Amino acid sequence: MSARFTRLNARFPHKRVFITGAGSGLGLEVAKALAADGWTLGLFDRNLERLTTVEAQFAEAGVKVVAYPGDVTQADELTVAVNSFAATHDGLDVMINNAGVAGGGSMMEVSLEDWRWIIDINVMGVVHGSRAAIPHLQRNGSGLLINVASAAAFASAPGMISYNATKAAVVSISETLVNELRPVGTQVSVVMPTFFRSSLLETFRGPAHARLLANKATQRSEYPVEQAAQDLLTASADGRTYIVLPKAARTMWRMKRWMPLRFLDRVRDFTQRQPQTD
């Protein structure tokens, strides 16, 4: 086995990681990437069937893995799982808050029920995961907390208001934690990828036209999820706080920071040019 993440492995020789939303998509690809380097995996997902299949596949390949079925909206379930993993493996090195869902629609199109649903998962899921992991990470004096947001957090495209807002909240939580956890030696990174093909749209809630646009953007993407997993691990090992993926998207990130109103004009113009139907 040839190690691909030598810097990450050197920082965390015990190689213990806990990943939420690990049954599919980006979470699963991150798990696969770390498993190839000999990491011990704690996998958390609400889809029991997928999780069971993934656990069996990893175990058959000789990977050290423990799967925990549960819901990130339930703080007790996630805390018990993280505590169990850390107790079983004498600690925790890396926590990845990856679980999330997709939503679309304008302010008046998104129901209050769907607002509560997406906030509970995308925002409170990160809160619950962070609160569960931080005591273990800070005990090491060298922990790593990775929160998966989205480029939607800064792009703020119209018609994606609930998703944009929740992912912006993940960025803000992460930025706050950077300074809260710096004194105890825990690094915090926030990942902001653009569209890539994954199972995220299976969870989508919103009007048909919003789903159609999101699906088209996903299908047009030439950025594979496997590459996104490798890139976020490499960048976090390098100590980066803001991880915008792919590399080409960093131009958008810089433009939003330096020329925010011009950036919003560009986003609006781009969105208006997109066809609404097939």
- Residue 163 annotated to the active site: yes
Residue 273 sits at φ, ψ, to 5 deg, of -80, -15
Task: Determine which one of 68, 163, 223, 242 is catalytic.
Answer: 163
Instruction: Retrieve residue 223's tokens.
Output: 């950025």
Spatial separation of the C-alpha atoms in residues 10 and 2, rounded to whole Å? 14
Q: Where are the beta strands (DSSP E) in 93-211?
A: 94-97, 144-148, 187-193
Q: Is the peptide bond before 224 cis (omega within 30 degrees of 0)?
A: no
Say how many residues make up the chain.
278
Other Cβ atoms closer than 10 A to 107: 10
CA–CA distances in Å: residue 74 to residues 70, 115, 128, 165, 177 = 8, 17, 8, 21, 21
As annotated, the active-site residues are 163
